[in-house]
Structure 1
Amino acid sequence: MESKDVFCSNLMDGTLCSHTERQQPSSPSVIVIGGGISGIAAARTLCNASFKVLLLESRDRLGGRIHTDYSFDCPVDMGASWLHGVCNENSLAPLIRCLGLTLYRTSGDNSILYDHDLESYVLFDMEGRQVPQQLVIEVGEKFKRILKETEKVRDEHSEDISVLEAMSVVLDRHPDLRQEGLAHEVLQWYICRMEAWFAADADMISLKAWDQEDVLSGGHGLMKQGYYPVIKALAENIDIRLNHRVTKIANWFNKVMLTVEDGRCFVADAAIITVPLGVLKANLIEFEPKLPQSKLDAISDLGFGNENKIALRFDTVFWPNVELLGIVAPTSYACGYFLNLHKATGHPVLVYMAAGRFAYDIEKLSDEAAVNFVMVQLKKMLPNAKDPIQYLISRWGTDLNSLGSYSYDLVGKPADLYERLRAPFGSLFFGGEAVSMDHSGSVHGAYTAGVMAAEECRSYLLEQHGNLELLQLVSSEEIVEATVPLQISRM
C-alpha cells in the first residue's frame, strides 16, 4: 500500500513536479489550452516530467464540461457524471481509487447503449398513467431485435445511412416488430434513450459507426461525490490562468505564440489544444498558419451533440425509489426522463435530461419556463409532486466555452476523422474527448487523449532540444496497486 500512498500524496502536494534533481535549466515550455480534464491531464503529465507548463482556461473555473455544482449543499454534476466502464482497465480507475471516491453502479456489462439497467425504470404516459412493467420489458426486447436487424441493413448498403432510416427499413420488412398505441410510445422512449447516449437525434447518427465504440467492461457508475475531486487532484500546483480566452495561435519557427482576448501574448516551445470541438467548429480561435485542410475537414465532419440537465432540489422525497422516471410519447422528441439522485446519493434531487434538438430547444426557454415545463410533466406522473426549492439549468449548446456537449459520428463521413483531428501540426498537439478514437464522448477518453497528447508533445520537444535523456514520465498506473478495488455501491 505504500506505493499507493506515495502517489496520492505526491499528486496532491505537487512534488512530482519538483522532486527530481535532474531537471534541466532549459526544460522545454508548453502551453495547454483548455482546463477540462483532458487539458489538466496533459498539463499534469508534462509537469510530472519537469517541463515548464502553463494552462490557459477561458472560464472562471476548472473542469470544462465537467461541472460539479455545490449550491444544493451536495455535489450535482451538471456536465459529465458517469464513469463508463467501472473496471481496472479504465484509465481513470487508479486516480479514483487513490482518492477514495465512490461509484454508484447503474448498469451491468450487458448495457451497451444505456447507462441504466431495465429494472431501474418506472415509465408513465403523457396523461400520467404508469406503463405496465411487462410491456416495458417486451418492447425493450423488440427494440434489441430492431437494432440487431439494422446490422443486415448496414451490410446491404454501400453508402452510410442514419440509424433512424435503418430502423424504418427494418420495420417495413418485419411488420411484427412494429408497435402500436402505448407500445409504440415505449419504443419511442427507447429511441430517446439511444439519442441521449449520442447527444443527437437518431436521424443524425451514423448506422455504420453507432455500435463500433469500444465499451469497457464493468457497466456504468455515477460519481457519488461528483467529478470535481478528480479535477482538483490533477490540477494541484499547476500554473493555471483562469479567464484567459485564447483567440489566436501562431505556430512559427518551432515556437508558438498565443494571444488571449485582452491582447496579451504568451510564447512557448509547443502548445496542446484541448478546447471542445464546438469551439473549433465555430472558428473562435484563429490559426496562423491555417490548419491543414485534412484537419479542417475533420473538424467539420465530426458531429458534436448537445445534452442538458435541469436539476431540481426538493425539501422532501415524494417519488418512487427507482433510478429513472420516464415519460413515453408518440415521438422520441417528446419523451423524457428524470434521473433520481436520491437513490444514488441520498440527496432529494431529480435531474431532468434532454438531448439533441430538444436540448437546444430547452436552451431557448428562460430558467423559469424550463423549470415550469419539466414540473408540468413531473406533476402528471406524480400528482403529489412538490415544487422545487432550488434549481440548476445547464446550457452547453449556447455556452461560448463549449457550444455543445460531446462528439459523435455523423452519417456518411470518413472513418479516420478522429485520427486526423488528433494529428499534430507543427508544434501544436491536440487533445480532448473528440480526438479519442475508441472512447470519444467519455471522461476517460478525454483524460487518455490529454495524456497521449502530452506524451507526443514531450517526445517531439525532447527530439527538438536534443534532450532525449530528460526524465521519463511517471506512470500512475504502474505506481498505484491494481489490487485496490474501486468503491462501488448499488442501493
Structure 2
Amino acid sequence: MESGNRSSPQLRRAACNSNVERMKTTSPSVIVIGGGIGGLSAARALHDASFQVMVLESRDRLGGRVHTDYSFGFPVDLGASWLHGVCKDNPLAPLIGRLGLPLYRTSGDNSVLYDHDLESCALFDVDGKQVPQELVAKVGEAFESILEETDKVRQEFSEDMSIRRAFSIVFDRRPDLRLEGLAHKVLQWYLCRMEGWFSADADTISVKCWDQEELLPGGHGLMVRGYLPVVNTLAKGLDVRLGHRVTKIARRYNGVKVTVEDGTTFAADAAVIAVPLGVLKANIIKFEPKLPDWKEAAIADLGIGLENKIALHFDKVFWPNVEFLGVVAETTYGCSYFLNLHKATGHPVLVYMPAGQLAKDIEKMSDEAAANFAYLQLKNILPDASDPIHYLVSHWGTDVNSLGSYSYDEVGKSHDLYERLRIPVDNIFFAGEATSMEYPGSVHGAFATGQMAAEDCRMRVLERYGELDLFQPVMGEDGSVSVPLLISRM
C-alpha cells in the first residue's frame, strides 16, 4: 500500500523581521492563538469589527482539528467531518449555506447515540457472518431500554459513576435486559458507537453528564466537500502567521505579550486563546502571571478523548451500498466501524474510526501497520476485499498540536467546567469546542465560542478605549443572511 500523506502547505510562513513586533496602528489590536475553527471564528469577527488581528498558528496549515486532505485527488476529512444538527439554528448553518456546500444527511435521529440511521448499516460478526437486520433493530430497542433504566440509576445515586458501572447495576436489577450470544455482541457494538461519540471508553464517561449537551434538530450531515472551504472563508484577508508555536503569554494592565518558540514576542491589547484542550493540559503555554486556580482546575478536570481515522482508498467498490459497516464482538474494544464515503461522495473510500483505548493502541503503530490493521478488520467480514491503493492515518493523540481529539465529561466532574474554561481572565479570552457548555466536542460549538470570545473581547477593549458602541455588530450585516442548506440523501 502506498501512503497518501503528502504535505502541501496552503499558506506561506510569515517571516519575523524583529524580536519584538507590535501592530503599527492606533486601532484596538488582538492576537488570536490557534488557527482552528474557534480561533478563526474569533479572528474573523474581530477583523470585521475593525480590530487589528493577528493569528498565530503552530502548524503549517490552518484548521486545527479540522483537516481536509486532498492526497487521494478529492477531499477527505481526517478530523471533524459532520455538521451535528442540520438546521437553521446551527451557528454554522448561515456560513455553510452561503458557501453552497452540500451536506449528506446520515441520520434523522437527534440522539447522541447514533450518527447514522440504523437501516443503512451492515453489521457482521468476527467470522464474517452478517447480523440479521431484525436483530440489529431489536438490540437497538433493548439499548434504549437500558438507557432508560440507567437514567433511573443516576437519579437514585448522589455520587457520579461511569456509564459502564451504571449498566452493570441495571443488569443486576433487570436480568431480562441481559443479552446473550450474538445479541450481546451487537449490544457491545452499540456501546462502542456511544464511546465513539465521546471519543472515550465507557468506564470513564460520566453517567451524570453524558447527555447534558444541547442537541440541535435535523440529524447529522456529512460535509461532502470537506470543511476546508469553511476554514478558507473564515481566514480570508486575515494576518496569519503559520509555524508560530506560542510558548508564553504575559498579561499586563495595558495589554498582552505573546512569545513564540523562536523567542519572537508580539504585543497587543488582548489575546484570544483557542488552542486544543490537550495543549492546555500539557502546559506547553506558560502564563505570566499564572492562571487563577479555578481556571487551572477546569483545564485539569475536563476530559480529553481520542478518535482517529484510517482512510482506505480502493480502485473499486466491493462492499454493500450502506452508510457504514460494523463488526460486532464480545467487547467494545473488539468492535469496529467503517464509514462508507462512496455512498455520500461517490469516491471508493472506507474510513475506519477507532476511539478510546483502541485508538491509543493503534497510534503506537506505524502508518502502514495501522492501515493494515484496519484492512484486516475489513478482510474478516469481506474476504474478497481488494487491497487499498492509498491510505491516510490521523494521529490526533500524539500530535503535539492537538494531544487529543475533543473534550468530554469524565466521571465525578461537573458539566459547568466548559463554562469555567470559557470565562475570560483579565484581557485574555478563551474559545474552542472545550469552552462550549452547549455544544462540546463539535465544530459548531467551536465556531460559536469564537463568536462569543470576539464579542467579549470587543466590548472589554473598546470600553478601555472609551469607544464602546453597544449597537456595533461583530459579524456585519451579512452574518444574518439565511441561505438554505443543500442536503442530499441517497
Which TM-score applies when normalising by structure 2?
0.94
Residue 89 (structure 1) aligned with residue 123 (structure 2): no
Secondary structure of 2:203's match?
Answer: helix
In structure 2, give the amino acid aligned to 1:237: G
Q: Deviations over 1:403-455 (max 9, x none)?
A: 00000001111232112111111110000100001001000000000110010
The aligned residue for residue 114 of structure 2 is 114
Contact 1:94–1:477 (Cα < 8 Å) also in 2:
no
Counterpart residue number, 1:487: 486
Deviation string for 1:386-416 (max 9, x for gaps)?
0000000000000000000000001111232
Q: Residue 12 of structure 1 aligns with which residue?
A: none
Most deviating of 417-426 and 187-196: 417-426
Residue in 2 that maps onto 1:363 = 363
Work out whether residues 39 and 274 of structure 1, in 8 Å CA contact, stay in contact via their aligned partners in 2: yes
Task: Specify the code of the residue in structure 2 equivalent to 1:203.
Answer: D
In structure 2, what is the Cα distance between the partners aligned to 1:445 and 1:152? 29
Residue 471 of structure 1 and its aligned partner are, at CA, apart by 8.0
Which residue of 1 is the match for residue 270 of structure 2?
A: 270
- Residues 262 and 475 (structure 1 numbering): CA distance in 2 closer, same or farther, change over 3 Å? closer
Give the equivalent residue in structure 2 for 1:455: 455
Partner SS, residue 397 of structure 2: coil
2:78 paired with 1:78: yes
CA distance in 2, matches of 1:341, 1:394: 17
* Gap change, CA 1:471 and 1:237, over 3 Å in 2: farther
Determine helix, strand or coil for the equivalent of 1:204: coil
Q: Given that residues 40 and 234 in structure 1 are in contact (C-alpha distance below 8 angstroms), is that contact kept between their aligned partners in structure 2?
A: yes
Task: Give 1:54's aligned residue.
Answer: 54
The aligned amino acid for 1:318 is F
Secondary structure of the equivalent of 1:164?
helix
Q: List per-residue Cα deviations over 1:244-265 (Å, max 9, x = no partner).
A: 0000000112211011001100
Instruction: Give 1:478 deviation, angstroms.
Output: 6.2
The structure-2 alpha-carbon separation of the partners of 1:304 and 1:479, relative to structure 1 and needing over 3 Å to count, comes to closer
**Aligned-partner SS, 2:109:** coil
1:2-401 matched pairs, under 5 angstroms:
26-401=26-401
Distance of 1:279 and 1:79 partners within structure 2:
17
CA distance in 1, matches of 2:382, 2:456: 54
* 8 Å CA contact 1:209, 1:409 repeated in 2: yes
Q: Give the total of aligned pairs.
A: 467
CA distance in 1, matches of 2:380, 2:48: 54
Give, as a single letter, the amino acid of the residue that structure 1 aligns with 2:111. Answer: S
**Secondary structure in 1 aligned to 2:138?**
helix
The one-character-per-residue Cα deviations of 1:336-356 (angstroms, maximum 9, x if unpaired) are 111000000000000000101
Where does structure 2 lack aligned partners over 5 or more consecutive residues? 1-23
Q: Percent identity?
A: 68
Equivalent residue number for residue 11 of structure 1: none
Runs (5+) with no aligned partner, structure 1: 1-23
Q: Is the 8 A contact 1:94 1:476 kept in 2?
A: no
The change in CA–CA distance for 1:474 and 1:461 in structure 2 (over 3 A counts) is closer
How far the C-alpha of 1:470 sits from its partner, in A, is 8.9
Inter-partner Cα distance in structure 2 for 1:413 and 1:439: 17
Corresponding residue for residue 20 of structure 1: none
| Equivalent residue, structure 1, for 2:426 | 426
Alpha-carbon distance between aligned partners in 2 of 1:42 and 1:199, rounded to the nearest angstrom:
26
Deviation at 1:472, TM superposition (A): 1.5
Q: What is the Cα deviation at residue 476 of structure 1?
A: 5.9
